[in-house]
Structure 1
Amino acid sequence: MIRLPGGQGPGASGFPRRSASPSRPQSNPVQGRGTRGLDARSFAIRSIVVALILALVTAVALGKLAWIQLFQGQATAEAATRSRTVPHTLKAQRGRILDANGMILAQSVERYTIVGSPKAAADFIPVDCTKQTEGNCHAINGKPVGATGPAAVARILAPTLGMNQMELGAKLVGSNSYVVLKKDVTPQVKRAIDKLGLAGVISAELSNQRSYPHRDLMGSLLGGVDANGKGVAGIEYMEDAALTGKDGYEVYQQGMYGQQIPGTESKSQPPVDGKDVRLTIDGDVQWYVQKALADGKAKYHAGWVMAVVQEPSAGRIIALADTESKAAGSAEAKMNPPLVVTQTFEPGSIGKTITLSGMLQEGTRQMTDKFTVPDRIKVDGQEYHDATEHGPERWTMAGILQNSSNVGMVMASDKYTDQQRYEYLTKFGIGQSSGLGLQGESKGLLTPPSAWDRRTRNTVLFGQGYATNAIQLTNAVATIANKGVRNQQSLIKSVSDEDGKPGQSPSSQATRVIDEQVAAQVMNGMESVADKFKNVAAVDGYRVASKTGTAEVAGQDGRLTSIISDWVGVIPADNPRFVVTVVMKDPQGTFGGLTAGPVFAQIGEFLMQKYELPPSAPRTDAIPVQW
């Protein structure tokens, strides 16, 4: 039997069997091929469109690139360079303040502000030293850092900065490019940071910190500077223009984290440091005077003590001190000028030297004029008395000065007019600024004769009824010691030039106030005053010309309950080198000769030893004090 394909046998009729299942519609092969063709064409069209768009974008981009490269390349490169090129300030150092011998009293020391970039710290990944043998790598005690980002920077940097690791890491978190981590870092620490391999994340900015090596030496006089390094008090303020330098600059390209790109420096201007200012003050003398004042305050239980030491021949101030001085650079020093500058007082009997000078110069009196002087007198209804009770004394004009008689000065002034009294006080500098330029200086108080009442016109003869300060009073007596010529006082010896060499000392303005012969006679009388106190205020081997003073001043209750005791001495009297003024408030012992006088002697002895001055010749020309 023949088997047909498909494995079906023939039926009875010999034809294949029909299936009993229902018939199914047959697909149209032509219709199927048409649908698939439409889909293919649509996809092709979309592909072509996308390709055309991409081609167009590419063409535009290439065209723009070609345009930039061919026509704008230089301008674009220049713009990119400009965006990376920034100026950086090079800080100038503030000048130094020196004493007369070159000892540094104030200087700016090199310090750095350590700055971090939180933005750069976020991307920081330390380099493992075990995997890199060349270049910078990072390790802590020889071990991997074990962190990334701000935590890693903090772990590496904290030990060198001496900061808490957690606090430092917190400062480095954020998106800023600048945060101050620590100020006033020494150069040694800065150099150690440079070796940590944190460039671009950590940088250092140069700053100048003002340093006062001898903070308690004339602290209030030196004053201080503010946070920007500008003088705000004392010498720092007075000489700020000279001390302040001019910042320079450096222009270079920087990387994305602010680091300098090597070899890109385009322009620079070096800074010009401030000038050095040298004072007339001798630091050794200043130190000793401050010690003597402190000792005197403790010994006599005074409220405060102040002193001035001046060279009469040139007006140079060698020491300017008080017991209220603050540490240089401190807030107290910036807010409180020296007491010796601000405090005014009635000079008391020291003012008699000015009165005597005026009367001798005007010819109304001679040093040998004779008087019989009681201990009290009444003039124009006003009574005046001496400090101690005494019977009638036969004193010359020199004797009136030696015994500091208020009554004798009133008696001797019968031909000395009110206008003359005022003019000579003015000529000697009373009621006028010293011209030193110090902050807070009071010029005192001197009213014109038209404002004087019947009592004031006579009290001004013996140092009451007007107010002065220790600087003015010192120069008044220095005028007598300088043969009648008044010099402009000075605190500045020199200011260095641009090469750092000391410049010339400022020229001293000189004005003759009294004749040389008159000055010599007043000095003679002042030597007799010193002779009277030789048991408490002498300087062995040296002649001294001096005058004491005691005056009532207003106390805290506003009434005349306080006492000012003062002493001005010239040493050596036969060859004046120094004038020393000592002023005390409320000392136990009251009188200036018994309190301020011994402090003067202590200072005078030191001056003679320090400057090795030869002993004085014996005195042979004393004007008689009695008749």
Structure 2
Amino acid sequence: MGSTTTRLKRKRKGDGPNLRLRMGFIAAVSVLVLLITSVRLVSIQGMDSMKLAEKALSNRLVTRTLPAERGQILAADGTVLADSVSRYQLVVDQQNVAQYEVDGELVGAWGAAEALSKPLKTDPGVLYPKLVGDKRWNPVAKGLTAETWREVKKLGVLGISAEEYAVRSYPAGGVAGNLVGFLSSDGTAQAGLEMAYDEELSGTDGQQQYERGARGEIIPLGDNNMKDAVDGQGLQTTIDPDLQYYAQQAIEEQRKKHKAESASIVIKEVKTGRIITAADAPTVDPNSPGKVDGDDRGSRIFTDIFEPGSTAKMVTAAALLDQGLVTPEQEFTVPDTWTAPNDEEFRDSHDHPDEKLTFAGILAESSNTGTILAGKELTEAQRYAYMKKFGFGSSSGIGFPAETAGILHPYEEWDGRTKYTVMFGQGVAANALQTTDVISTIANGGVHVPSRLVDGMITPNGRTISTPAGEKERVVSEKAADETLRMLEGVVAEGTGKSAQVSGYRVAGKTGTAQAPAAEGGGYDGYTASFVGVLPAEDPQLAISVTLQRPRKGYYGGQAAAPVFSDVAGFAMRHLKIPPSTEKPELPAREWK
């Protein structure tokens, strides 16, 4: 018994170190768990709390675009042709508007709809579906004026805010509408100067980022930053708005009178190259471009080409005089029909016996056969070179959208007929601006001044940066130009252009009547009637072209185009206060005996 007790006691004594070991292990594990927990707590309170804070901040941060203000488009005198006006889009935080109270009573989305219906002039039932829900942003109404937004703001409806945006406006309506162009509903430039200068007009949008409170308000001391927008530049055109308006009315009336498909007037300052009028008919009001056909929304002055017909005889005349191959009073016997060595036959516009005409008389009577008789002294290479120098086959450099360079095939590609017809404006095509440039160059002593439609850009701070003038180029000698101009004065005084005369002023010009190419299937369909002229002829200030496409009631240039030239040119002289002519012209003889 005693020995057994002794053995048990010894066993308990042997357990001591193991117990201590187990207790130490438990303590170590406890410390480790405590350490891990502490680290986790530090992580939660430190790094994780930072992530949570960042997430919470991102939920509160709002970023919105600050749209740049699009630049204005102005007429030469500062008349606004295109501008941007502020409009507002009403938006709602549906979660906040649900808490909307009136006099301590919760009225929610329906109460908000009833309140908003009055300034928005609509039924609450129309607004309610846009206000109810859980969206933090939802559009309610668009196109609000500043006045309407102020009325809405006074209501203090919880969760209602507004976003400002710009809408393009055209205060002058259809005046120069074909030139100005317009924007689509999403602000994309669609035509005219709006498209040509879109980058300069647009500017660069800015950005605002701010911290929003629970009710959508900006937290004043929150995380806010802003990058300002850079507004677009303004555009000052060369257009005289009064003259533009008058010309548009006159050419539209003439278009209807002669039942033409389209018509145009271009007025260019001879010495500066500034286009002060570019009138199309039909025209477009940029405020509502959808009301007219797509073809009427641009400017045919730049985009449509036609065979210039007899107006191109100016180029042949100037080239012959420049080369010294003829003189204004050189004598020709002109038949009504002429057959070329290659058996190609050419006719005048009417039958007549052989006529004894000087070179000036050939131009005054607009004789095709006479032009060939004189012009055949030019080589084909020379005919091409002068047409190219006068601007055919080259764009103006203005950069108007869809502007055409016209058609002037290399002379090596001319067939047996074209090499003759180009001398009287067939087998070549140009736009209205190009035909204006021809007579403008002749009137400027044979020096071409590049056309321009923009005087300068206006910076956001109001400073005007003038557009550099293009480089001038001599096309023919001053002597050849002056002799051509005197002959063109005879066209108006005694020839086919009598209807273009302007009381009190000497006018030089040329009529044109050409077959119009068919839109489909080749061949011709109708006529192009035109007149180009300058005045005062003794010191030319303005070059003016009038063009009617496919008139169905009188299609000769002297009949359809010259009278409206007289009307518009007379108004321009009075409007611009250009003094009347005081000297009588010395015209070369038209006939010989």
Q: Same fold (TM over 0.5)?
A: yes
Q: Cα gap change, 1:70/1:373 in structure 2, threshold over 3 Å: closer, same or farther?
A: closer
What is the identity percentage for the equivalent residue pairs of Structure 1 and Structure 2? Answer: 36
State the Cα distance separating 1:279 from its structure 2 match.
0.7
Task: Specify the code of the residue in structure 2 equivalent to 1:185.
Answer: L
Q: Does structure 1 residue 604 correspond to structure 2 residue 569? A: yes
- Find the partner of 1:274 among 197, 215, 232: 232
- Structure 2: stretches of 5+ with no match in the other structure: 1-35
1: CA distance, partners of 2:165 / 2:46: 47
Contact 2:94-2:135 at 8 Å conserved across structures: yes
2: CA distance, partners of 1:73 / 1:450: 82
Q: Cα gap change, 1:71/1:550 in structure 2, threshold over 3 Å: closer, same or farther?
A: closer
Q: Does structure 1 residue 352 correspond to structure 2 residue 284? A: no
Q: Does structure 1 residue 410 correspond to structure 2 residue 372? A: yes
Contact 1:177-1:257 at 8 Å conserved across structures: no
Of 158-167 and 85-94, the range deviating more from structure 2: 85-94
**After superposition, what is the alpha-carbon deviation per residue over 1:220-270, rounded to whole angstroms, capped at 9, x for unaligned?**
322212334232321111001110122222332111243212343632232
Contact 1:355-1:461 at 8 Å conserved across structures: yes
- Find the partner of 1:177 among 136, 143, 154: 136
- Find the partner of 1:580 among 544, 547, 553: 544
2: CA distance, partners of 1:394 / 1:277: 55
Contact 1:275-1:500 at 8 Å conserved across structures: no
1:32-43 correspondence runs (5 A) = none
- Find the partner of 2:257 among 281, 295, 299: 299
1: CA distance, partners of 2:154 / 2:535: 62
Q: Cα gap change, 1:413/1:75 in structure 2, threshold over 3 Å: closer, same or farther?
A: closer
Q: Does structure 1 residue 548 correspond to structure 2 residue 528? A: no
Task: Specify the code of the residue in structure 1 equivalent to 2:405.
Answer: K
Contact 1:244-1:273 at 8 Å conserved across structures: yes
Matched residue, 1:539: 502
Task: Specify the code of the residue in structure 1 equivalent to 2:75.
Answer: D
Contact 2:492-2:499 at 8 Å conserved across structures: no
Give TM-score, length-normalised by structure 1: 0.83
Matched residue, 2:72: 96
State the Cα distance separating 1:608 from its structure 2 match.
0.5
Contact 1:224-1:333 at 8 Å conserved across structures: no
Matched residue, 1:105: 81
Matched residue, 2:331: 370
Matched residue, 2:483: 521
Of 267-276 and 487-496, the range deviating more from structure 2: 267-276
Task: Specify the code of the residue in structure 1 equivalent to 2:200.
Answer: A
Q: Cα gap change, 1:348/1:63 in structure 2, threshold over 3 Å: closer, same or farther?
A: closer
Matched residue, 1:571: 535
Of 218-227 and 173-182, the range deviating more from structure 2: 218-227
1:102-501 correspondence runs (5 A) = 102-128=78-104, 148-199=107-158, 201-264=159-222, 266-329=224-287, 330-331=289-290, 336-380=297-341, 381-501=343-463
Q: Cα gap change, 1:120/1:63 in structure 2, threshold over 3 Å: closer, same or farther?
A: farther
State the Cα distance separating 1:69 from its structure 2 match.
6.7
Contact 1:548-1:567 at 8 Å conserved across structures: yes
**After superposition, what is the alpha-carbon deviation per residue over 1:95-152, rounded to whole angstroms, capped at 9, x for unaligned?**
0111111111111101111111222222333334xxxxxxxxxxxxxxxxx8622101
Contact 1:492-1:506 at 8 Å conserved across structures: no
Matched residue, 1:6: none
2: CA distance, partners of 1:93 / 1:405: 57
Q: Cα gap change, 1:178/1:264 in structure 2, threshold over 3 Å: closer, same or farther?
A: same
2: CA distance, partners of 1:104 / 1:573: 34
State the Cα distance separating 1:323 from its structure 2 match.
1.1
Of 538-547 and 388-397, the range deviating more from structure 2: 388-397
Give TM-score, length-normalised by structure 2: 0.88
Contact 1:106-1:212 at 8 Å conserved across structures: yes
Of 210-219 and 532-541, the range deviating more from structure 2: 532-541
2: CA distance, partners of 1:534 / 1:357: 19
Contact 2:458-2:465 at 8 Å conserved across structures: yes
Q: Cα gap change, 1:180/1:86 in structure 2, threshold over 3 Å: closer, same or farther?
A: closer
Contact 2:71-2:233 at 8 Å conserved across structures: yes
State the Cα distance separating 1:405 from its structure 2 match.
0.8
Task: Specify the code of the residue in structure 2 equivalent to 1:110.
Answer: S
Partner SS, residue 224 of structure 1: coil
Of 450-459 and 555-564, the range deviating more from structure 2: 555-564
Q: Cα gap change, 1:535/1:446 in structure 2, threshold over 3 Å: closer, same or farther?
A: closer
2: CA distance, partners of 1:485 / 1:181: 61
State the Cα distance separating 1:365 from its structure 2 match.
1.7
State the Cα distance separating 1:446 from its structure 2 match.
1.3
Task: Specify the code of the residue in structure 1 equivalent to 2:122.
Answer: M
State the Cα distance separating 1:88 from its structure 2 match.
2.9
| RMSD between superposed Cα atoms in Å | 2.4
2: CA distance, partners of 1:80 / 1:363: 88
- Find the partner of 1:590 among 555, 570, 578: 555
1: CA distance, partners of 2:540 / 2:191: 33
2: CA distance, partners of 1:371 / 1:502: 56
Q: Cα gap change, 1:403/1:175 in structure 2, threshold over 3 Å: closer, same or farther?
A: same
Contact 1:218-1:328 at 8 Å conserved across structures: no
State the Cα distance separating 1:375 from its structure 2 match.
1.6
Contact 2:238-2:453 at 8 Å conserved across structures: yes
2: CA distance, partners of 1:530 / 1:514: 22
1: CA distance, partners of 2:49 / 2:133: 36
Q: Number of paired residues? A: 550
Matched residue, 2:472: 510
Q: Which has the larger radius of gyration?
A: 1
**After superposition, what is the alpha-carbon deviation per residue over 1:572-596, rounded to whole angstroms, capped at 9, x for unaligned?**
1111111111111233222101210
Task: Specify the code of the residue in structure 1 equivalent to 2:517.
Answer: A
2: CA distance, partners of 1:518 / 1:154: 79
Of 65-74 and 257-266, the range deviating more from structure 2: 65-74
2: CA distance, partners of 1:104 / 1:87: 34
Contact 1:373-1:395 at 8 Å conserved across structures: yes
Matched residue, 2:586: 621
Task: Specify the code of the residue in structure 1 equivalent to 2:556.
Answer: F
2: CA distance, partners of 1:271 / 1:172: 31
Q: Cα gap change, 1:228/1:61 in structure 2, threshold over 3 Å: closer, same or farther?
A: farther
1: CA distance, partners of 2:498 / 2:398: 36
State the Cα distance separating 1:363 from its structure 2 match.
1.8
2: CA distance, partners of 1:371 / 1:489: 37
Task: Specify the code of the residue in structure 1 equivalent to 2:564.
Answer: V
Partner SS, residue 232 of structure 1: coil
2: CA distance, partners of 1:415 / 1:346: 23
**After superposition, what is the alpha-carbon deviation per residue over 1:132-187, rounded to whole angstroms, capped at 9, x for unaligned?**
xxxxxxxxxxxxxx862210110111111122210100111222111111111111
